[in-house]
Amino acid sequence: MQISSGSPFPQNTETSPGVRKVTAEDVNVYYGEKHALKSVCLDVYANEVTALIGPSGCGKSTFLRCLNRMNDLIEGARVVGRITLDGEDIYDSRLDVVQLRARIGMVFQKPNPFPKSIFDNVAYGPRIHGLAQSSGDLEEVVVTSLQRAGLYEEVKDRLGEPGTGLSGGQQQRLCIARAIAVSPEVILMDEPCSALDPIATAKVEELIDELRENYTIVIVTHSMQQAARVSQRTAFFHLGELIEVGDTEQIFTNPQQKLTQGYITGRFG
């Protein structure tokens, strides 16, 4: 993997004392000729929620997808730079991508449960990764995952019913339960609440806050209020560049960069 020459580092005003879980060093992404992400350097700390914000097309989702190599699936996409998980290069050719995605799970914008029962949705990952030795183990994983996702009480009497029959908010929490069933270390969330109503959004946000005790979370959101509510650190992207990253409180009260200030106060974008 080649490393391109570095551009000036973005203003970094973070004070996080935590352990670096994921580190991106000078990451550039190209979609064919288009330079979508430009020399991004960003650390994601363990047991923290890092929010990525910025106007449409700024590269935040592109960056998120680099973190579990989802960009590999896009034809013409080229990722240059170095991304490590606990110091291990995730773009190493010897690395098993399926295993990587079990360690770095993902929740998408639109809830996408499999056309299977609620139970089987959550059991799918543990089954294919061989994480449960017996049917009792499997049931325990499913129940624990549903509990952690705050969904168990609502569905415990109908685990055999199709996941697609749940409400939007429940489906999204089912997808989160499915993601955590394989015991990932990092969970990537790409606008997980954009299709949900305010109550369902509040439940997912509450869940995110609880999940960070055990997982590291990176969330892309268009809602600045959501970034402010759920994250400890916020990174602002603009036109493919990381403009500023810092403690969420500082970004929303006293951003250091004019572009950040302009965006979060609604002066452009």
Partner 1 sequence: MAGEHTVRSYDEELSHLTNLIARMGGLAEAQLDSAVQALIKRDSDLASKVIAADAKVDEIEHEVHSFTVRLLALRQPVAHDLRMIVGALKISGDLERIADYAANVAKRALVLNQIPPVKPTAAVPRLARLVQEIVKEVLDAFVEQDRDKAVKVWKQDEEVDDMYTSLFRELITYMMEDPRNITACIHLMFIAKNIERIGDHATNIAETIHFLVQGTPIREIRPKGESVLPDPSQISRDN
Site of interaction with partner 1 (CB under 8 A): 224-225, 228, 252-255, 260-262, 264-269
Q: Which is nearer to partner 1, 133 or 225 (CB)?
A: 225
Compare residues 56 and 225 and give the one whose CB is closer to partner 1.
225
Of the pair 99, 265, the CB lying nearest partner 1 is at 265
CB 104 within 8 A of CB 68: yes
**Under 8 Å between Cβ of 218 and 64:** yes
Cβ contacts of 168-172, under 8 Å, gap ≥ 24:
168/111, 168/195, 168/196, 168/197, 168/200, 169/196, 169/197, 169/199, 169/200, 169/201, 169/203, 169/204, 170/200, 171/111, 171/113, 172/107, 172/111, 172/196, 172/200, 172/204
CB of 237 vs partner 1, minimal distance in Å:
17
Query: 259: helix, coil or strand?
Result: helix
Q: Which is nearer to partner 1, 107 or 251 (CB)?
A: 251
130: left (phi over 0), alpha (psi -120 to 50) or beta: left
Q: By C-alpha distance, which of 211, 210, 193, 214 is closest to 202?
A: 193
Any idea which residue has 């061989």 for tokens?
Answer: 130
Give least dist CB 70 to partner 1, A.
Answer: 31
Min dist CB 81 to partner 1, Å, is: 30
User: Least distance (Å) from partner 1 to the CB of residue 233?
Assistant: 16
112 burial (CB, 10 Å; 0-12 / 13-18 / 19+) is: middle
Asked if 218 contacts 52 with a C-beta cutoff of 8 angstroms, the reply is yes
Q: Which is nearer to partner 1, 183 or 261 (CB)?
A: 261
Minimum separation from the CB atom of position 224 to partner 1 (A): 7
Tell me, what amino acid is at 96? Answer: D
Residue closer to partner 1 by CB (options 78, 258) is: 258
Q: Name the minimum Å distance from CB 258 to partner 1.
A: 8
Least distance CB 222 / partner 1 (angstroms): 14
> Which lies closer to partner 1 via its Cβ, residue 87 or residue 198?
198
